[in-house]
């Protein structure tokens, strides 16, 4: 582990905010899906090298864990498996499919509008900071604008991961075979919030 990597980990771990353990478990599900149990062990070893050991099997779904741990798992996975940004995006796209919490949330709301109206309530149940805000829904022009507001300046890998995650949720509720997502604003680039544009045909 280089000195630069050590400093990056230190800075990441300073950022406040917590998520439910269930979120971390879905990351392990994807690693296991792609790299089997051996891959999970490799990521755990890398986290130990980072100075923040974690055993995925000991995670409690409803307990709170630092959101910075999510970033370290993404960071560790990229390092261990030599993953590109597309792999992190795919990881984000996969995890809602393995999340009991997300699937139950989606099943309660059959309409796109209702899902978006309730999305920040779902967010607050699983994160103790930040706000998820669907700012615009235009079903005629076929697009949605989503924003993450509040203290959420973690790491660019999390921006990529969220892009995949939000795309999968959109794929759950929008009846279209062609849906795209783009991060149009980013707090890491000086914007006051993260903004994603979802389009479909």
Same domain for 89 and 121, yes or no, is no
What is the tally of structural domains in the chain?
2
Same domain for 60 and 115, yes or no, is no
Same domain for 141 and 65, yes or no, is no
Same domain for 52 and 130, yes or no, is no
Same domain for 87 and 165, yes or no, is no
Segment 132-142 shows an average pLDDT of: 95
The pLDDT score that the predictor gives to residue 9 is 83
Q: Report percent pLDDT > 90 for the chain.
A: 71
The pLDDT score that the predictor gives to residue 110 is 64
CATH code, domain with 141? 3.90.1520.10
- Please provide the average confidence, as pLDDT, over all residues in the chain: 91
Does residue 100 lie in a domain region? no
Does residue 101 lie in a domain region? no
Does residue 155 lie in a domain region? yes
What confidence tier does 136 reach under pLDDT thresholds 50, 70, 90? very high
Rounded CA-CA distance 170/135 in Å is 15
The whole-model pTM stands at 0.91
- pLDDT tens for 15-69 read 889 999 999 999 999 999 999 999 999 999 999 999 999 999 999 999 999 999 9
Same domain for 70 and 115, yes or no, is no
Does residue 103 lie in a domain region? no
Same domain for 65 and 114, yes or no, is no
The pLDDT score that the predictor gives to residue 106 is 61
3-class secondary structure, 182: strand
- Give me the DSSP letters along 114-150: HHHHHHHHHHHHHBSS-EEEEEEEETTTTEEEEEEES
Same domain for 121 and 189, yes or no, is yes
Does residue 102 lie in a domain region? no
| Domain encompassing residue 54 | 3-95
The pLDDT score that the predictor gives to residue 115 is 85
Does residue 29 lie in a domain region? yes
Does residue 165 lie in a domain region? yes
- pLDDT tens for 71-115 read 999 999 999 999 999 999 999 999 988 776 666 666 565 678 888
Segment 167-183 shows an average pLDDT of: 93
Report whether 76 contacts 88 (CB < 8 A): no
Q: How far is CA 117 from CA 16, 106, 123, 127, in A?
A: 26, 12, 11, 17
Same domain for 159 and 120, yes or no, is yes
Same domain for 85 and 141, yes or no, is no
Does residue 8 lie in a domain region? yes
């Amino acid at each position: 582990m280089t000195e630069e990597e050590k400093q990056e980990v230190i800075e990441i771990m300073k950022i406040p905010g917590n998520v439910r353990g269930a979120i971390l478990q879905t990351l392990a599900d994807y690693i296991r899906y792609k790299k089997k149990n051996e891959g999970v062990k490799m990521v755990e070893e890398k986290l130990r090298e980072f100075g923040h050991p974690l055993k995925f099997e000991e995670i409690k779904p409803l307990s709170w864990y630092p959101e910075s741990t999510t970033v370290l798992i993404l960071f560790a996975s990229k390092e261990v498996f030599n993953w590109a940004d597309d792999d992190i995006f795919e990881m984000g796209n996969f995890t809602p499919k393995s999340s009991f919490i997300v699937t139950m949330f989606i099943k309660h709301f059959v309409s796109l509008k209702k899902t978006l109206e309730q999305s920040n309530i779902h967010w607050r149940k699983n994160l103790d900071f930040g706000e998820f805000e669907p700012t615009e829904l235009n079903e005629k022009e076929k697009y949605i604008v989503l924003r993450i507001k509040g203290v959420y300046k973690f790491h660019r890998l999390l921006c990529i991961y969220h892009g995949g995650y939000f795309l999968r949720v959109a794929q759950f509720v929008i009846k279209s075979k062609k849906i795209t997502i783009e991060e149009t604003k980013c707090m890491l680039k000086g914007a006051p919030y993260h903004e994603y544009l979802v389009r479909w045909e």
